Amino acid sequence: MRKYIPFILLILAAASCKKESDNIVWQRTAGEGSAFFIGATADSGFIGCGRLSGNPYLVKFGSGRDIELEYYSQENGLFSSAWYDTSGIVAAGSKAGKMLLTRIDPSGTILWDTTITSDFYLDITSLVYEGNGSFLAVGSASPDSADVIYTGILFVRFDTAGQISYTMETTDFETGFTAAGKAIEDGSGNIYLPLTRKSGSLKPKAAIAKYNRNIQKLWETDLYNNTGFRAGCYAATTDAAGNVFVTGVTEASNMSGTLTNSYVASVSRLGEVQWKKYLENSNTGSSIILNGSGNVLMLNKNCFILRILNSADGSDDGIARMFAECDSYTTDAFGLDMDLRHDGTVLVAGTKAGNFWIAIKSVQ
């Protein structure tokens, strides 16, 4: 049986960040694990979740950065997405290759949870809140696990009471491997999925797909894949005009061999690639959002490096480093997700020295 374990509070410790970078406003580290998700909440707080000591873990902070709620499962698995309101939290992830959905009340007590089996192995699940207490959960293998022979995407629609109203699997027997990054919704009911596909012995390729509210695919666009090199699409965001901005990883050759690069691309509402920029060597684009000025913020996984781009043409508007000294080729600091706070600071989540790690970063 799962239960709330309050002693987790004791292993979360705040630390001054001046020794690493003046840009880190605040940080907290838990035990061995990774933070897969972080999100601002309407009460000016924020929520983070992931894996701690091999088990699903979730923590909610108030506006003063104090812990208001936490939940630690005693079963192996992870949380990769979460949603919060004053009635509690809905969290999603995976357990033993199955989709995991969980509801937790404001005291940290579990109200219900369920696992959903598909015809393929699931690593991660992302949540899209559709309003009126309804959610769409999108589960898939990790985009990094393209050595898996066969996988697909599982769509599940459910409500805060745990009632499931819709399930659908999408698979491509010709492609073989299909994985989705973080699903997003554009405010009009359309769903966007960053995709990584692999067919047989070919290299993985990157794509972005748009679905309507009935999970019917409207279009899918390849992102200038070079068949000789691997690529993947991990995250996306949209603007008010319907443009989609995506990020991920690709490869290129240099004098020493094959080099990974992070990228950002802009795709129109009709699925046409408008521009694409290659940004950081030995890196992967893991998260992407728009700030209040309409600039694109892209998080590079290695060293938590933030790149700021003009959304119109992808021109460089700046760079914000998490750490004063960090080598992307040898780092143990990996950023997996980010979000904006009400004051314009950036929430980041990931792992540092093998531990669950979240921070607030200034982009000045």
> Quick one: pLDDT at residue 11?
47
Which pLDDT score, from 0 to 100, does residue 18 have?
Answer: 40
- In this prediction, residue 174 carries a pLDDT of 55
Q: Are 245 and 291 in contact (CB under 8 A)?
A: no
Calculate ∠ Cα 185-296-186, nearest 5°.
15
Distance CA 333, CA 351 (A): 6
pLDDT for residue 13 is more than 60: no
What is the widest separation between alpha-carbon atoms in the chain?
Answer: 57
Computed from CA positions of residues 6, 109, 79, 96, in that sequence, does the dihedral angle turn out positive or negative? positive
* pLDDT per residue as tens digits for the range 35-76: 999 999 999 999 999 999 999 999 999 999 999 999 999 999
| Inter-residue long-range contacts of 269-274, CB under 8 Å, 24+ positions, other chains counted | 269/241, 269/242, 269/243, 269/244, 270/219, 271/208, 271/210, 271/218, 271/219, 271/220, 271/221, 272/221, 273/221, 273/223, 273/224, 274/243
- Answer CATH for 181-331 from 3.30.365.10, 3.40.50.2300, 3.20.20.70, 2.40.128.630: 2.40.128.630
Closest listed residue to residue 182, CA positions, set 357, 310, 349: 349
Domain chopping of the chain, boundaries: 23-159, 181-331
Segment 255-273 shows an average pLDDT of 90
DSSP letter, residue 204: P
pLDDT at 202: 84
Q: What is the DSSP letter of 21?
A: -
> Which pLDDT score, from 0 to 100, does residue 138 have?
98
pLDDT value, residue 227: 80
15 falls in which pLDDT band (50, 70, 90)? very low
Give the mean model confidence (pLDDT) for residues 328-352: 96
pLDDT above 70: residue 146: no
pLDDT at residue 19, as a whole number:
43
Contact 28, 13 (CB under 8 A): yes
Q: Is the pLDDT of residue 225 over 80?
A: no
Q: Output Rg (C-alpha) for the chain, integer angstroms.
A: 19
Which region among 216-230, 246-260, 337-351 has the lowest average model confidence (pLDDT)? 246-260
How confident is the model at residue 175, as a pLDDT?
60
Lowest mean pLDDT among 54-68, 105-119, 193-207: 193-207
- Stated length of the chain: 364
Span of 121-135, 141-155, 194-208 with lowest mean pLDDT: 141-155
* CB burial of residue 327 (10 Å; 0-12, 13-18, 19+): exposed
Residue pair 67/77 in contact (Cβ under 8 Å)? The answer is no
Q: Please count the other Cβ atoms lying within 10 Å of the Cβ belonging to residue 251.
A: 16
**Number of helical H runs and strand E runs in the chain:** 1, 29
What's the predicted TM-score (pTM) here?
0.92
Give me the amino acid identity at 274: Q
Residue 150 pLDDT class (50, 70, 90 cuts): confident
Say which CATH class 23-159 falls into: mainly beta
Query: Does residue 265 have a pLDDT over 70?
Result: yes
C-alpha 364/C-alpha 240 separation (Å) is 25
Statement: residue 2 has pLDDT above 50: no
Question: pLDDT by residue (tens digit) across 311-320?
Answer: 999 999 999 9
- In the chain, the percentage of residues whose pLDDT exceeds 70 is 91
Q: Is the pLDDT of residue 97 over 90?
A: yes
Q: What pLDDT is recorded for position 14?
A: 46
**183 pLDDT higher than 70:** yes
Q: What pLDDT was estimated at residue 259?
A: 83
